[in-house]
Amino acid sequence: MSSQETREQSGLMAQWSFDEGAGKTVRDQISEFVDPINYVFNDARFTNTHDPAWRRGVKGGALLFDGYSTWVTRPADGVKQPGDALTITAWVAPRSYEWGDEQRLSAIVNQHDRENKEGFILGMYRHGSWSLQLGIGGNWEEVWADDAPLVKEQWSFVAATYSKNDGMMRLYLNGKEVASKASSNKAAISPSKSDLLLGKNNQSTILAGVFPLNMFNGMMDEVKLYSQALDAEEIANIFAEDLQPHGGKSPEIPYDDIQLDRSLLTDDRHRPQYHVSPPAHWMNEPHAPIYFNGQYHLFYQHNPQGPYWHQIHWGHWVSDDMVNWRDLPVALAPEKNAVDPDGVWSGSAAYDENGVPALFFTAGDDSVKPNQRVGLARSTFLEDNNNDLVSWIKHPEPVITQQKGIGLFGDFRDPFVWKEGDTWYLLIGSGIEGGSGTALAYTSKNMTDWEYKGPFYTSDLKKYPYLGPVWELPVLLPLGKDKNGNEKHLFLISPVGPGADVEVFYWIGSFDKNKFSFTPDQEEPELIDVGQFHFTGPSGMVDPKTSRNIIFTIAQGERTPQLDYSAGWAHNGGLPVSVFLREDGRLGVEPIEELQTLRGEKLVSFKDKSLEEANVLLKEVKGDMLEIMLELEADKAEQMGIKVRRSPNGEEETLLYYDIVDAMLKVNRTKTTLDRFERSKGIQGGKLELNGENVKLHIYLDRSMIEAYANGLKSLTTRAYPSRVDSLGLQIWGNGSLTVKSMEVWEMRSANHG
Domain residue limits, the chain: 73-254, 598-748
DSSP letters, 348-397, are EEEE-TTS-EEEEEEEE-TTSSSSEEEEEEEE-HHHH--TT---EEE-SS
Instruction: Tell me how far CA of residue 135 lies from CA of 112, 123, 181, 227, in angstroms.
Output: 8, 15, 14, 15
- List pLDDT tens digits, range 292-348: 999 999 999 999 999 999 999 999 999 999 999 999 999 999 999 999 999 999 999
Within the chain, what is the greatest distance between any pair of CA atoms? 95
CA 117 to chain centre: 36
DSSP letters, 651-706, are SS-EEEEEETTTTEEEEE-TTS-S-TTS---SEEEEE---TTPPEEEEEEEETTEE
Dist CA 600 CA 610 (whole Å) = 27
Enter the pTM of the model.
Answer: 0.97
Helices (H), 219-317: 232-243, 255-258
Dist CA 662 CA 686 (whole Å) = 9
Cα angle, residue 79 at apex, residues 100 and 56 outer, rounded to 5°: 60
Hey, how many other C-beta atoms are within 10 angstroms of the C-beta on 421? 6
**What is the structure's pLDDT at 680?**
78
Q: Do domains 73-254 and 598-748 have the same CATH topology?
A: yes
What is 73-254's CATH topology?
Jelly Rolls (2.60.120)
Nearest to 402 by CA among 377, 436, 431, 378: 431
Pick the CATH number of 598-748 from 1.10.260.40, 3.40.640.10, 2.60.120.560, 3.40.109.10: 2.60.120.560
**What is the structure's pLDDT at 79?**
83
- Specify whether the CB–CB gap between 83 and 189 falls below 8 A: yes
Ramachandran sector of residue 407 (left: φ over 0; alpha: ψ -120 to 50; beta: rest): left
Dist CA 211 CA 214 (whole Å) = 10
**What is the structure's pLDDT at 3?**
43
> Can you name the residues that pair with 74 across neighbouring β-strands?
196
Instruction: Tell me how far CA of residue 379 lies from CA of 336, 385, 428, 460, 476, in angstroms.
Output: 20, 10, 22, 40, 24
- Specify whether the CB–CB gap between 91 and 157 falls below 8 A: yes
Instruction: Tell me how far CA of residue 236 lies from CA of 40, 175, 569, 618, in angstroms.
Output: 37, 4, 41, 71
Q: Which residue type does 164 have?
A: K
DSSP letters, 469-518, are SEEEEEEEEEEEE-TTS-EEEEEEEEEESTT---S-EEEEEEEETTTTEE
Nearest to 269 by CA among 66, 569, 679: 569
**What is the structure's pLDDT at 753?**
83
Dist CA 585 CA 709 (whole Å) = 18
Phi and psi (nearest 5°) for 43?
A: -135, 75
Q: Quick check: helix, strand or coil at residue 252?
A: coil
- Say if residue 370 is preceded by a cis peptide, omega within 30 of 0: yes
Terminal Cα distance for the chain, rounded: 49
Nearest to 209 by CA among 560, 523, 555: 560
Instruction: Tell me how far CA of residue 523 lies from CA of 203, 480, 519, 579, 713, in angstroms.
Output: 53, 20, 9, 20, 19
Dist CA 132 CA 143 (whole Å) = 6
- List pLDDT tens digits, range 53-79: 999 999 999 999 999 999 999 999 888
**What is the structure's pLDDT at 6?**
53
Dist CA 660 CA 647 (whole Å) = 27
Phi and psi (nearest 5°) for 381?
A: -55, -40
- Specify whether the CB–CB gap between 637 and 737 falls below 8 A: yes
Task: Report the DSSP pairing between strands 281-292 and 569-570.
Answer: parallel
- Specify whether the CB–CB gap between 141 and 179 falls below 8 A: no
DSSP letters, 695-726, are EEEEEEEETTEEEEEETTTEEEEEE---SSTT
DSSP assignment letter at 459: -
CB contact burial 327-336 (16+ within 10 A = b; e otherwise): bbebbbbbee
Dist CA 15 CA 225 (whole Å) = 7
Residues in the chain predicted with pLDDT less than 70, given as ranges, are: 1-10, 754
Dist CA 535 CA 528 (whole Å) = 9
DSSP letters, 184-234, are SS--PBPP--SPEEESB-TT--EETTTEE-SB-EEEEEEEEEESS---HHH
